[in-house]
Structure 1
Amino acid sequence: MPTAPKLIAGFCLLIVAFLVSGMIIANGEEGKNYGSFTYVNMGLGVVCGWWIMGKRAGRGWTSAINNGLTGMAALVFWGLFVQGVNEMLRLAMRHRYDGPFEALISIFKIGVEYGQQLIAPEILWTLIIGAILTGLATEEAARRWR
């Protein structure tokens, strides 16, 4: 059922996903085609905010910060996984793998490689501050619109 905290959490994570995706593209490889990278991450932000953060709102301010950090961790995990699957499928269509298990293992290797791009200080700070602000905004929405 749609509620204000779910909407606010999804919208806030959408904004953070947009900002971080832009930072990753700016820090990434020169001339690389990122395709729908930003849009996929923004969609994942809405889904993680709606399903993970929205239903946990209304439990207090400390829980709100923890909720924001949990939602952001879920967004990062699913973002790395989905982008890893996308890259694996792109490479599989070019016959880069000898078998299906090698392709499945490469999803996690690609995810770790993409995760190394998140270690840049400006990206880490954006994720942490975005998580805290998202958690607090979701909590405020839960208190204001019951």
Structure 2
Amino acid sequence: MPTAARLVAALLFAALGWYVSEMVKALLPPEENVGWFSEANTIISFFIGWVFVGKRAGDTYAGALGYGITAALLMVLWCAFLQAFYEMIEKSLRKQYDDPVEAVVAIFEIMIERGPVLINPFVVGTLLFGAMIIGLIVEWVGRRFA
């Protein structure tokens, strides 16, 4: 059911996803082809805000900090997984894998390979601080417009 809290959560997490994606793109090597990186991560973040955070609004402010941080972790995991999945598909179309199991394992290898870029203190700090602030805003909206 659409609520003001879900809409606010979705829009704010989409904005956070876009901003952090742009930060990560700046840390990638210049020869890296990023394609629709920011756009895809924005869409994923929008749905995490709508489905996960928005429906939890109306709990407590301490809970809001918790589900904000959890949403940030979900954003990182889903975005990293889907970006690695896309890269695996590209490589599999070029026949770089011998069998399907090798391709599935490659998804997680790609995620681990790209992990150090995400551990940058500015990226982590922005993501966690932004998610906690958004959690508090969503909680306020959930109480105010419920």
Alignment TM class, shorter chain as reference:
over 0.9
What is the aligned partner in structure 1 of residue 143 from structure 2? 143
Distance of 2:17 and 2:112 partners within structure 1 = 18
For residues 49-60 of structure 1, what are the structure 2 equivalents within 5 Å?
49-60=49-60
- SS of 1:98's equivalent in the other structure is coil
Task: Please tell me the residue identity of whatever aligns with 2:94.
Answer: R
What is the aligned partner in structure 2 of residue 117 from structure 1? 117
Task: Please tell me the residue identity of whatever aligns with 2:20.
Answer: V
What is the aligned partner in structure 1 of residue 106 from structure 2? 106
Are 1:82 and 2:82 counterparts?
Answer: yes
Distance of 1:115 and 1:42 partners within structure 2 = 19
1:134 Cα deviation after fit: 1.1
Distance of 1:138 and 1:144 partners within structure 2 = 10
Distance of 2:143 and 2:62 partners within structure 1 = 14
1:131 Cα deviation after fit: 1.0
Distance of 1:26 and 1:4 partners within structure 2 = 33
Identity of aligned residues (%): 36
Are 1:93 and 2:93 counterparts?
Answer: yes
8 A contact 1:57–1:67 mirrored in 2: no
Task: Please tell me the residue identity of whatever aligns with 2:123.
Answer: I
8 A contact 1:18–1:38 mirrored in 2: yes
Give the aligned CA root-mean-square deviation in angstroms.
0.8
Unaligned runs of 5+ in 2: none
Are 1:68 and 2:68 counterparts?
Answer: yes
What is the aligned partner in structure 2 of residue 29 from structure 1? 29
Using the size of structure 1 for normalisation, the TM-score is 0.97
Distance of 2:106 and 2:71 partners within structure 1 = 25
8 A contact 1:13–1:46 mirrored in 2: yes
8 A contact 1:45–1:75 mirrored in 2: yes
- SS of 1:58's equivalent in the other structure is coil
